[in-house]
Amino acid sequence: ISCSTSEPQGFCAVGYESDCGLSSEKILIKGGTVVNAHRKEVADVYIEDGIVVSVRPNIKVGDHVKIIDATGKYVMPGGIDPHTHLEMEFMGTVTIDDFFTGQAAALAGGTTMHIDFVIPVNGNLSAGFESYMNKAKKAVMDYGFHMAITKWDEGVSKDMELMVNEHGINSFKFFMAYKGSLMIRDELLLQGLQKCKSLGAIAMVHAENGDAVAEGQKRMIDLGITGPEGHALSRPPVLEGEATARAIRLANFVNTPLYVVHVMSIDAMEEIAKARKAGQRVIGEPVASGLILDDSWLWHPDYTTAAKYVMSPPIRTSGHDKALQAALSTGVLQLVGTDHCAFNSTQKALGSEDFRKIPNGVNGIEERMHLIWDKMVESGQMTVTDYVRVTSTECAKVFNIYPRKGAILEGSDADIIILNPNASFKIAAASHHSRSDTNVYEGTKGKGKVEVTISQGRVVYEDGKLKVTPGSGRYIRMPPFGYLFDGIEKADAAYFASLNAPIQRTKSAA
């Protein structure tokens, strides 16, 4: 990295506050391969005041512009993680990463925006929103919110309108599992789907049959299986497949788009494939853990090691991971999240006598971009443009913030990463940026390294070092009626028109 103006030796230091006036607001990325979901090209990218100003070869700039040489490297939109849980109260504790540590970790791994799940306070949406806006005051990068719906009444229904029309939320998550806490029943799901449709908001589901999970857990405890392996055994893929199919059918009945979060099994993936083939608007989100790991860890003799892999739906047996990878590369599943929901080993120890008490969740916000590059692109399973689509662009499109996010185009936010395909990464709890003392990808090595992260037009990560400012993260409002809603009303009109031909019945004499 250098300055565009030549100065006496030692005068223009590389960095923000250099004597030469090198501006953090003006950056030229030179000679890299710029990748968008629709094309890749060798070009320069010029950034000013947080916005991409120009993308073309041989851009000439004025004085004191930060020059980054990206020759031989990929210049891509920063990752957008559609699924995280920062500072979430859950299962008797609070996730260990807050909006500072979680986002710092994200930036170090090439993710420049995430969408977190607001959990209502005692079912109250407005209180939940306020609480999360407070938590996010220390944000260091851009973020948006989904909101969970955990109960149903007139107030919740009205508050959904408020969230969409005043607060920039365009998606609501319904938990079909976690009986006794977050779980909702079909009646509520149906109400929620209808309300989402009327608001142009995307309905999201955590698809597992919560009643059957509770039965499965009891079965394991009765058998004396109390360790982390009991977690996987108690909630098999069939329960994920059942709930996925049920949610898909209810969304079909309502005729509204559905987003299935953390697709972990072949069973769920095949339900999504079937529905999409039949023309239904269903989005499937696999997460890094489901694409990379298998459940053998849950049988590890060391409790702390085994417990860190407990998440729901569970990480599945080997084979599900490869099938999910194939589904992602062929477009059956559309985008990748992490479900970053990190706990440290002391928190995981809450379930050392009973797997039902192990806080559910794994890390991933820092690792996703590297893992997906290595597993999908480096292996030859996925093109570089598709990598951008599944890690960034599709998320921006689904949640209606494209092309401000998810693209390197004139006028887009300057959230950009530079990835060196010839460098390597290694994952370790000792060097990661999460506050957790463990990492489910401990020791994983791979090819392709994010060397520079630019967020809001500022270099926030380079040479292995983070430069972040608490409070600099912005809340990104996401407007309703994204592309998934295009034409929905036409299909409704056609359906209702088909019902409108009254049948003339004659009264029978008898």
Interface ranges with ligand URP (CB under 6 A): 85, 206, 262, 311-312, 339, 341, 360-361
* Residue 151 CB coordination number (10 Å): 14
Where residue 465 falls (left for φ over 0; alpha for ψ -120 to 50; beta otherwise) is beta
Complex with ligand URP: residue 262 or 281, whichever CB lies closer: 262
Cβ-based nearer residue to Zn ion, 43 or 333: 333
Residues 203-232, one symbol each (x = binds Zn ion by CB under 5 A, - = not), give ---x--------------------------
314 vs 403, beta carbon nearer ligand URP? 314
Whichever of 20 and 133 has its CB closer to Zn ion, that residue is 20
User: DSSP secondary structure string, 471-488?
Assistant: T---B----SS-GGGTTH
CA distance 419 to 76: 8
Phi-psi domain of 500 (left: phi exceeds 0; alpha: psi -120 through 50; beta: other): alpha
Nearer to Zn ion, 262 or 449 (CB): 262
User: Which part of the chain contacts Zn ion (CB under 5 A), choosing from 2-10, 93-101, 297-305, 481-489?
Assistant: 2-10
In the beta sheet, which residues pair with residue 113?
Answer: 80, 142
Residue 324 lies near Zn ion (rule: CB under 5 A)? no
Cβ-based nearer residue to ligand URP, 325 or 338: 338
Q: Which does 64 bind (CB under 5 to 8 A by kind): Zn ion, ligand URP, none?
A: Zn ion
311's contact among Zn ion, ligand URP, none, with CB below 5 to 8 A by partner kind, is ligand URP
Q: What is the rounded radius of gyration, in angstroms, for the C-alpha atoms of the chain?
A: 24
Strand partners, 93: 90
What CA–CA distance (Å, rounded) separates 68 from 147? 39
CB of 261 vs ligand URP, minimal distance in Å = 6
Partners of 146 in the beta sheet?
Answer: 117
Range in contact with Zn ion (rule: CB under 5 A) among 202-210, 300-308, 463-471, 475-483: 202-210
Contact status: 1 vs Zn ion (CB under 5 A): no
Q: Within 10 A of 385 (CB to CB), how many other CB atoms are there?
A: 15
If contact means CB under 5 to 8 A according to the sort of partner, which of ligand URP, Zn ion, none does residue 207 touch? none
Q: Does 372 bind Zn ion (CB under 5 A)?
A: no
Q: Return phi, psi of residue 107, to 5°.
A: -65, -40
- Taking the complex as a whole, the smallest distance from the CB of residue 116 to ligand URP amounts, in Å, to 11
**Closest approach of Zn ion to the CB of residue 280, in Å:** 21
User: 15 in helix, strand or coil?
Assistant: coil
For the range 379-386, what are the long-range contacts, defined as Cβ-Cβ under 8 Å and sequence gap of 24 or more?
A: 381/325, 381/326, 381/329, 382/328, 382/329, 384/33, 384/35, 384/40, 384/74, 384/76, 385/35, 385/36, 385/37, 385/38, 385/39, 385/40, 386/37, 386/329
Helix, strand or coil, per DSSP, at residue 343: coil
Closer to ligand URP by CB, 184 or 311: give it.
Answer: 311
Residue nearest to ligand URP (CB): 360
- Shortest Cβ distance from residue 90 to ligand URP (Å)? 6
Task: List 455's β-bridge partners, or say none.
Answer: 458
Dihedral angle over CA of 221, 226, 230, 235, nearest 10 = 40
Please report how close the Cβ of residue 505 comes to Zn ion at its closest, in angstroms.
50
The Cα–Cα gap between 362 and 311 comes to 6
Asked if 358 is part of the footprint of Zn ion (rule: CB under 5 A), the reply reads: no
| Nearer to Zn ion among residue 36 and residue 84 (C-beta) | 84
Q: Shortest Cβ distance from residue 485 to ligand URP (Å)?
A: 24
**Shortest spacing between CB 290 and ligand URP, in angstroms:** 10
Q: Which does 3 bind (CB under 5 to 8 A by kind): Zn ion, ligand URP, none?
A: Zn ion
Taking CB under 5 A as the rule, does residue 126 contact Zn ion?
Answer: no
**How big is the site for Zn ion, counted in residues (CB under 5 A)?**
8
Rounded alpha-carbon distances, angstroms, from residue 287 to 16, 94, 121, 371, 501: 36, 21, 27, 11, 47
Q: How far is CA 39 from the centre of its chain?
A: 23
Q: Nearer to ligand URP by C-beta: 149 or 468?
A: 149
Is 22 one of the binding residues for Zn ion (CB under 5 A)?
A: yes
Task: Output 197 or 340, the one with its CB closest to Zn ion.
Answer: 340
Q: Does 66 bind Zn ion (CB under 5 A)?
A: no
Q: What are the residues whose beta carbons fall under 8 Å from the beta carbon of 348, sequence distance 6 or more?
A: 304, 307, 308, 310, 358, 359, 438
Q: How far is the CB of 83 from ligand URP (least distance, A)?
A: 7
Sign of the C-alpha dihedral, residues 301, 306, 307, 310?
Answer: negative
What's the CA dihedral at 428, 429, 431, 432 to 10 degrees?
A: 100
Q: Which of 1, 14, 15, 20 lies at the binding interface for Zn ion (CB under 5 A)? A: 20
| Binding site partner of 338, from ligand URP, Zn ion, none, Cβ cut-off 5-8 A by kind | none
Q: Name which of 236 and 403 has its Cβ closer to ligand URP.
A: 236
Q: Is 267 helix (H, G, I), strand (E, B) or coil?
A: helix
Q: Which of 40, 64, 249, 300 binds Zn ion (CB under 5 A)?
A: 64
- Site of interaction with Zn ion (CB under 5 A): 3, 5, 12, 20, 22, 64, 206, 339
